Structures are given as C-alpha cells and as structure tokens.
C-alpha cells in the first residue's frame, strides 16, 4: 500500500505539503475555498463516534486538482437547499479518492448529515467521495484518509463508535463496499500514538515501526524524507508522526508556544494588540516586510500587504491571497504566543 500511496503523491499539485511531523493530509476550509457559514454552529458536546457517508446516486471520480472545487460544489448545493435549511456543508469532514481529508464543519460542531437532531448530536459525519454507481469502491489511499479523519475527530473527544449512515436512518448510505468496512473494522485507526522521536535498533524495518506505532509507513517515509529502498540504519533518529494531526498542530491540539488563531473577523476589526506586532515580526522574518517603519501593535494596511505577501509565498492566489489572515496560513506562520 505504501508504494502505491507514494506514487499517488507525486501527481498531486493542488495542496502543498509542508515539512512537519504529521500523519494526515489535511485540507483546510481556506484551502478549498469554503464560503463562510450563514448561521451559527451548534456545539457537538460529547459524541459517541462517527457516522460514515457516501455522496449518493453517482460519482464519476476526479483528478485531485479538482477535488477542492468539488468540495465547494457540495457546500454550495447544501447551502442552497431551502428544504434542509443547512447553514454550511452538512458534513464535518470529507475524504477524496486520493486520501486527502477536507475540513467541513470540522471538530466541535454538529453536522447536519445524519438524519435528525438527535442523530447529529450523537455522531460526527464523515463523507467519502464515493457513490452507489460509478466510483463505488474506496481506494487504499481513501481508506487511510477515512481512518485519519476518524483519528482527528477522536482527538477532539469523539467516541470510538464507527457506524454507517444507515445505522441510524433509513438509507442505502454509505453503500455496500464502504459499509462492509464499517462492519469489519477496516476504518478504525486503532490506538493513537502522539508522535515523537525513535532511535532505530539493529535490524529494524519500516514494517516494524508501522506495527509498533500504528502509523502507515508511507507517512514515516514522508516526514523523514527517506529514499528508496528505505533501509534503516541502527542509531538513526526518525520522527514518528502522530496519526490524525494536521500540519501546524501538535497531537495535543495545538502548540502552546504559538498564538492561537483569533479569527479573520478579529483582524478585520483592526485591533491594537501585541499579537499583531508578533505576527508582523514573523512576517519580516519570512521576508514579507511591507512595513515602512517596522511592525506595530495597531493593525494597518501595511500588515494587510505583508500578510498578502505571506499568502502568496505559500502559493495562494486571488481571493485566497487578500491579506486577511486565515487559520491554515496562520498556523504555518507560527506566531509566538505572548
């Protein structure tokens, strides 16, 4: 599975992978171009686990470069559905054929997908880009991605249950192939290791590390930039990634040495805060200095231009590089906490 997964990675271009100790190919709302919700989320509370979903009648598949736009199509369809009254995409997470996990309503928020208020209160909703006809069988990469999405939600206090949509609601969803995996435990990510450093022992292989830490060896290969044929040398130190943790986060849900993202709206209120100055100092360090006399605590147009430079440096364009901070670009900037 690992070699197939790595072959797939070489063809992907729409989502930049930055170095980091992570075992999850996570696509933020900013990265897939999500519209803001047109209402308030309901807090999830204590979830029993997740419900697994598919798209519905048919899905013909996509190149990965088209998956973000397809996620946006789903959101637009949901938000325009007057009968359902959805204020955002209905699912918490979605997983494409290529193993990438798209943030929907995200962790800590009830979905609108499980069938009724109680079902949405009991379980998160994870969508797979599959359907009844067309693309019906999950790829190996997609199975890994679904496991990652479940691991991510478990780190946000979701329970251990993994069910199909049909287990609480009269529907064929999530289809025969995916539901069989729900039933046989194939989608369970297992015990979650929090990541760290491992010193290679004599004779150890990637298979050994995969079994010891319950992390797919493809992720160990990637974060350590290992080269084929992947022979390990005793005494080498390897980073072991944490399953279900996006880039820019620690397994504990965030690094306390960095400032939490205060929200785009906070910046649009033009705050006077030490966080603004700390952000500006990091932008200068990243060679995105559009300041005439250096960063200050008061938000200004110079902050906007400097942050736009940072977004452009990360590969964003157009409306995604408008200068207003978003969560994914903020996490990658790593602004020190005060």
CA distance 294 to 267: 18
Per-residue confidence (pLDDT) for residue 306, from 0 to 100: 97
pLDDT in tens, 52-105: 999 999 999 999 999 999 999 999 999 999 999 999 999 999 999 999 999 999
Per-residue confidence (pLDDT) for residue 332, from 0 to 100: 87
Residue 160: exposed, middle, or buried by beta-carbon count in 10 A (0-12, 13-18, 19+)?
A: exposed
Handedness of CA 312, 248, 54, 121 (dihedral sign): negative
Per-residue confidence (pLDDT) for residue 6, from 0 to 100: 32
CA distance 7 to 139: 13
CA distance 95 to 182: 15
Cα 27 to Cα 6, 144, 310: the distances in Å are 18, 15, 18
Per-residue confidence (pLDDT) for residue 5, from 0 to 100: 33
Residue for token pair 């670009």: 329
Question: How far out from the chain centre does Cα 296 lie?
Answer: 32
DSSP assignment, residue 252? T
CA distance 316 to 229: 35
Q: Which residues of 288-300 are buried (b: 16+ CB within 10 A; e: fewer)?
A: bbbbeeebeeebb
User: Where are the strands (E) in the chain, listed by range?
Assistant: 26-27, 49-53, 58-59, 93-95, 101-103, 123-128, 133-134, 161-164, 196-199, 237-240
CA distance 97 to 140: 9
Per-residue confidence (pLDDT) for residue 2, from 0 to 100: 35
CA distance 57 to 134: 9
CA distance 173 to 131: 8
**CB neighbours of 95 closer than 8 A, spacing ≥ 6?**
101, 102, 126, 127, 128, 129, 142, 145, 146, 148, 149
Side-chain-side CA neighbours of residue 151 (13 Å): 30
Q: Note if the pTM is more than 0.75.
A: no
Tokens matching residue 32: 């897939």
Total residues belonging to the chain: 338
DSSP assignment, residue 260? P
Residues in the chain where the model's pLDDT stays below 70: 1-22, 247-257, 338
CA distance 259 to 291: 21
Q: Are 189 and 154 in contact (CB under 8 A)?
A: yes
CB atoms within 10 A of CB 257: 9
Per-residue confidence (pLDDT) for residue 316, from 0 to 100: 86
Per-residue confidence (pLDDT) for residue 142, from 0 to 100: 97
> Read out DSSP for 95-158?
E-TTSPEEESS-TTB--S-SSSHHHHHHEEEEEES--SEES-S--HHHHHHHHHHHHHHHTTT-
């Amino acid at each position: 599975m690992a070699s197939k997964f790595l072959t797939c990675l070489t063809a992907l271009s729409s989502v930049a992978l930055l170095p980091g100790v992570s075992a999850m190919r996570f696509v933020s709302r900013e990265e897939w171009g999500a519209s803001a919700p047109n209402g308030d989320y309901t807090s999830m509370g204590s979830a029993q686990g997740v419900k697994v979903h598919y798209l519905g009648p048919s899905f013909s598949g996509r190149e990965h470069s088209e998956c973000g736009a397809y996620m946006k199509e789903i959101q637009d369809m949901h938000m325009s559905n007057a009968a359902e009254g959805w204020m955002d995409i209905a699912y918490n997470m979605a997983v494409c054929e290529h193993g990438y996990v798209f943030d929907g309503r995200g962790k800590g928020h009830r979905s609108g997908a499980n069938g009724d208020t109680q079902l949405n209160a009991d379980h998160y909703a994870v969508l797979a880009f599959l359907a009844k006809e067309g693309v019906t069988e999950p790829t190996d990469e997609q199975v890994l991605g679904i496991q990652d999405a479940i691991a991510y939600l478990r780190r946000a206090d979701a329970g251990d249950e993994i069910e199909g949509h049909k287990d609480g609601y009269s529907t064929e969803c999530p289809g025969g192939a995916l539901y069989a995996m729900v039933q046989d435990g194939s989608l369970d990510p297992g015990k979650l290791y929090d990541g760290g450093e491992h010193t290679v022992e004599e004779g150890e292989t990637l298979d050994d590390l995969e079994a010891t830490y319950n992390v797919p060896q493809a992720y160990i290969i990637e974060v350590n930039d290992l080269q084929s044929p992947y022979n390990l040398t005793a005494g080498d130190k390897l980073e072991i990634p944490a399953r279900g943790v996006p880039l820019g986060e620690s397994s504990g849900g965030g690094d306390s040495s960095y400032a939490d993202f205060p929200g785009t709206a906070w910046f649009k209120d033009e705050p006077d805060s030490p966080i603004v100055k700390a952000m500006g100092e990091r932008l200068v360090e990243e060679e995105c200095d559009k300041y005439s006399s250096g960063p200050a605590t008061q938000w200004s147009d110079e902050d906007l231009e400097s942050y736009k430079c940072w977004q452009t440096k990360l590969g964003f364009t157009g409306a995604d590089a408008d200068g207003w901070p978003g969560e994914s670009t903020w996490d990658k900037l790593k602004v020190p906490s005060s």
